[in-house]
Amino acid sequence: MKTILILLLLQISVFTFGQTTKIAENLYSYTKPIQSADQHCTPEIKFDPLIHENIAGPYDGGNLQFIWPFTQAIDDGIVLVNYVDNRSGTGIKDYNDDNWAYDGHNGTDFSLHDFRNMDRFYAVKAAASGTVVQTVMNNYDRNTGWTDVDPANKILIRHDDGSYAYYYHLMKRSVTVKLGEYVTQGRIIGYVGSSGVSSDAHLHFEPGHFVNGNWTKRDPWSGIYNQLPSLWDDQLPYLGFRDFVLHDMGVYTAGLVGGSFNNNMSPYLKERIISPNTISGYESKIGFWMLIQGNYSTKQIKLEMRNSNGTLIDDVSYTNYNQFQYGWQWWTPDFNPGISVTGNWYFRVLYDNVEKGRYFFNVQLLTSNRPRLYPAAGKCFRRSVFLQRDTLRVRPVRTNMQYELVGAPPNVSITNDSIVNIGTLDQIFRVREFKVIASMGGSASLRDTMIYKLIDTTKNHSIGNGIVSLELKSYLEGRYNGINMQGDSITVLLRNALSPYVIIDQATVYSLPNGSSIANFHDANSGIYNYLVVKHRSSIETWSKTAMQFPNGFPLKYDFTDANTKAYGNNLKLKGGEYCIYSGDVNQDGVVDVIDVASVDNDLSFFIQGYVVTDLDGDDFVDSADLAIVENNANNFVVRMRP
């Protein structure tokens, strides 16, 4: 047994990789590299008039209340790594007048322990209700640095008060909501990943608003330095003052870290080292790692290794003089006790002579390792018309692996022993999960689990959103080329089913190139029959064939493009195999006539360009193609048809 007193202030050597520090013989630490003010984990937010709206006048967000955006509580797999930096210029000031952030950080960072936890799908919830106005979902999600990376997978939600919240760094293909959809507070919207500029699996949560086209971040935490009202419905105590928090720990042998204890540990720790099933008493060394947070303190950290009888075999003591917002420490003591004392040995962690945790490991004659699925043990697949495949791989390579489907739908199978085949998704709700158990010869202990999420946004959530929503498909004749449409804003109105057909509610939405849009109506009630009316700045106002009833809490789907009978009076034009809303009503008087023709002809003669109502095909030029559309519809006496 030996005891070593180490002060981290007296660092013996620094490795060249990352932020790994050799504290003393067999004792090391790794912290996330310090980000500078020009190394943001999110890009500069720029105003886009297609999806963003400004707020006029002073705004403090005091009427907005966020809930915790996870199912898990803080310290239950969730580590709060960075608050918002509220200080302009250089230097750091979090909301509590401290430095639990990095210079220039505009959001709150919640990290997972490692990528293995990420593979277990930590759900992200909408902290407040609102409309989804932007999604990115197809980028790589296991980044460990800040350079040469694809953009982050993200979701942007516009709240009912006009403010926004960004949810960054999500897992690839994990977004469970769609553009235009109204999501209620607490709805699962995606899963934590490490996409974009990201060193670890984490969620960057950034609320704010636009004023005159400029993004203004809004720190949701209220305290000494940020005295605006808290946006949390139940704000957590400040976490930056804690001396020592033990989040996770485990043991390993050299074989699990590339064959040498001198290898760079960062990649193995970030993926999480799976502890051996058994460890041989003849291993010359053994490793113990722990994930911690803490601050400068004169109090002592002590690590002990004890055998199955509780006898102290080795220990090390040291004092932490650094701030650990998120980092690992590991100890690699000499081992080789033989097999005179087998069974459950353990490592013990003490802080200021108070035990913080124990980790048990089984010492036997031989070391045996569990199979590990790699490079990931959790993936998302989205709805596709094609057969999708995934090949299961394990380390170390085994010849007697068995794979078992658990909870899989009928369209999923395993072929060639290790290829997962996913057919056309046929599920009741939007998200479905199944697993594959990979075991050595069917062993109950030598196994690993792959988790799959199947996401089909054409299906409803298992619980409705509580408001009247319309999932609409419509093409605008002039802007549709037979394949796709030049997207544009449309206004959808709900009108009472009886004369005088009073407007019940309306929503202006963006119609995508595939013709789809989602309109949310906060002032309408489900179960009531209403006509659907589509208006566009240069098209004929078009009504649904009949009044439609909205289901309780779930979207109504309506498609104007598959039959002319979907519109009142069959008032649609067939173009490229799809039915379209007539274009050409430039002055919005309900008829395409000589006045509209004159407007287009006049702008054509002056070579008018840009986003103007007379540009019917959306190419930003008023030209002969636009004139042909309006003349044709005027000659055919195209008019608004309504009850």
pLDDT score, position 22:
87
Identify the three-state secondary structure at position 44.
Answer: coil
489 with 618, same domain: the answer is yes
The torsion defined by the Cα of 497, 502, 506 and 510, in degrees rounded to 10, comes to: 70
393 with 252, same domain: the answer is no
The residue out of 394, 424, 455 marking a domain boundary is 455
Q: Which amino acid is at 311?
A: T
pLDDT score, position 322:
79
Q: How confident is the model at residue 14 (pLDDT cuts 50, 70, 90)?
A: very low
169 with 315, same domain: the answer is no
Nearest to 204 by CA among 239, 166, 155, 156: 166
Gap between the Cα atoms of 176 and 389, Å rounded: 21
More confident residue, 639 or 22: 639
Q: How are beta strands 5-7 and 312-319 bridged, if at all?
A: parallel
Whether omega for the bond prior to residue 33 falls within 30 degrees of 0, making it cis, is no
- Within a domain: residue 59? no
Q: How confident is the model at residue 630 (pLDDT cuts 50, 70, 90)?
A: very high
268 with 302, same domain: the answer is yes
Q: Name the packing angle between helices 594-605 and 624-635 (round to 10°).
A: 170
Nearest to 205 by CA among 192, 188, 215: 192
Gap between the Cα atoms of 228 and 209, Å rounded: 15
The residue out of 455, 485, 519 marking a domain boundary is 455
Strand partners, 334: 285
pLDDT over 80 (residue 398): no
Identify the three-state secondary structure at position 6.
Answer: strand
pLDDT over 50 (residue 18): no
451 with 474, same domain: the answer is no
496 with 623, same domain: the answer is yes
Q: How confident is the model at residue 33 (pLDDT cuts 50, 70, 90)?
A: low
Record the tokens describing residue 624, joined without a space: 């002969």
Alpha carbons within 13 A on the beta-carbon side of 462:
6
pLDDT tens for each residue of 70-102: 999 999 999 999 999 999 888 999 999 999 999
Alpha carbons within 13 A on the beta-carbon side of 61:
28
pLDDT score, position 527:
85
Q: Which residue has the tokens 């004159």?
A: 598
More confident residue, 6 or 439: 439
- Say how many Å lie between the first and final Cα of the chain, rounded: 92
SS (H, E, C) 409-438: CCCEEEECCCEEEECCCCCCCCEEEEEEEE
pLDDT tens for each residue of 558-600: 999 999 999 999 999 999 999 999 999 999 999 999 999 999 9
Strand ranges across the sheet with 419-422: 388-391, 419-422, 412-415
Count of the separate structural domains present in the chain: 4
pLDDT score, position 159:
96
- Within a domain: residue 627? yes
96 with 213, same domain: the answer is yes
Identify the three-state secondary structure at position 116.
Answer: helix
> How much is the pTM?
0.85
- Within a domain: residue 236? no
Nearest to 124 by CA among 67, 76, 82, 182: 67
Find the CATH number of the domain harbouring 616.
Answer: 2.60.40.4130
- Within a domain: residue 44? no
Find the CATH number of the domain harbouring 9.
Answer: 2.60.40.1930
163 with 246, same domain: the answer is no
Q: Which amino acid is at 623?
A: D
pLDDT over 90 (residue 462): no
Identify the three-state secondary structure at position 266.
Answer: helix
Q: How far, in Å, are 130, 174, 260, 386, 413 from residue 410 at the CA level?
A: 35, 22, 45, 16, 8
pLDDT score, position 39:
64
Gap between the Cα atoms of 527 and 366, Å rounded: 68
The dihedrals phi and psi of 259, each to the nearest 5 degrees, come to 95, -5
The dihedrals phi and psi of 6, each to the nearest 5 degrees, come to -120, 140
How many C-beta atoms surround the C-beta of residue 287 within 10 A? 24
Q: Which amino acid is at 346?
A: Y
pLDDT score, position 223:
97
Q: DSSP readout, 147-198?
A: SS-PPPPEEEEEETTS-EEEEESBPTT-----TT-EE-TT-EEEEBBB-SSB
Record the tokens describing residue 1, joined without a space: 């047994």
Do residues 389 and 419 make contact, with C-beta atoms less than 8 angstroms apart? yes
The residue out of 333, 364, 395 marking a domain boundary is 364
pLDDT tens for each residue of 117-141: 999 999 999 999 999 999 999 999 9
Find the CATH number of the domain harbouring 179.
Answer: 2.70.70.10
Please name the residues in contact with 386: beta carbons below 8 A apart, sequence gap of 6 or more.
Answer: none
199 with 311, same domain: the answer is no
- Within a domain: residue 213? yes
More confident residue, 63 or 107: 107
- Within a domain: residue 223? no
pLDDT tens for each residue of 105-118: 999 999 999 999 99
Nearest to 643 by CA among 538, 536, 571, 550: 571
Identify the three-state secondary structure at position 596.
Answer: helix
Q: Average pLDDT over the chain, rounded to whole?
A: 92
Show the domain range for 173: 78-217
pLDDT tens for each residue of 550-563: 887 788 999 999 99
pLDDT over 60 (residue 5): no
pLDDT score, position 263:
92
269 with 410, same domain: the answer is no
pLDDT score, position 1:
44
Q: What is the average pLDDT across 393-419? A: 90
Gap between the Cα atoms of 435 and 408, Å rounded: 7
Do residues 560 and 534 make contact, with C-beta atoms less than 8 angstroms apart? yes
Percent of the chain with pLDDT strictly greater than 70: 96
202 with 127, same domain: the answer is yes
479 with 578, same domain: the answer is yes
pLDDT score, position 397:
76
Q: What is the average pLDDT across 496-525? A: 91
pLDDT over 70 (residue 637): yes
pLDDT score, position 12:
27
pLDDT score, position 320:
82
Q: How confident is the model at residue 11 (pLDDT cuts 50, 70, 90)?
A: very low
pLDDT score, position 382:
97
